[in-house]
Amino acid sequence: MHRTILAWGLFLLVACAARSSIAQSHPSPGFFAETLREGRVVDLTHTFNRDTIYWPTEEGFKLVKEKAGFTDKGYYYAANRFVAAEHGGTHIDAPVHFSATGKTVDEIPLNRLIGEAAVIDVTRACKKNPDYQISIADLRRWEEAHQRQLVDVIVLLRTGYAKRWPNRKAYLGTDATGPEAVAELHFPGLAPAAAHWLTQHRSIKAVGIDTASIDYGQSKRFASHVTLFEHNVPAMENVGDMSGLPTARATIIALPMKIGGGSGGPVRVLAILPNGS
Using one digit for the tens of pLDDT, what is the confidence trace for 106-129?
999 999 999 999 999 999 999 999
Query: What's the pTM?
Result: 0.88
pLDDT given at position 31: 57
Residue 109 lies in a domain: yes
Q: Report how many domains make up the chain.
A: 2
Widest CA span of the chain, in angstroms? Answer: 66
The mean pLDDT value of the chain amounts to: 91
User: Which CATH number covers residue 120?
Assistant: 3.50.30.50
Q: Which residue has the higher pLDDT, 22 or 86?
A: 86
**Residue 153 and residue 228 in one domain:** yes
- State pLDDT tens for residues 34-56: 656 655 899 999 999 999 999 99
Helix, coil or strand: residue 206: strand
* Confidence (pLDDT) at 9: 53
Same-domain check for residues 219 and 92:
yes
Q: Is 78 among the domain residues?
A: no
Same structural domain, 14 and 94:
no
Confidence of residue 28 (pLDDT cuts 50, 70, 90): low
Q: Please give the helix or strand (H or E) that residue 120 lies within, else none.
A: strand 114-121
- Which residue segment(s) compose the domain that 158 sits in? 40-58+86-272
> CB–CB of 225/167 below 8 Å?
no
Of 28-42, 54-68, 77-91, 101-115, the least confident:
28-42
Structure confidence by residue, pLDDT tens digits, 125-148: 999 999 999 999 999 999 999 999
Co-location of 121 and 28 in the same domain: no
28 contacts: CB under 8 Å, gap ≥ 6: 18
The CA-atom distances, in angstroms, between 13 and each of 113, 114, 122, 173, 258 are: 11, 9, 31, 38, 16
| 3-state secondary structure (DSSP) of residue 251 | strand
Question: Per the domain annotation, does 128 fall within a domain?
Answer: yes
pLDDT over 50 at 62, yes or no: yes
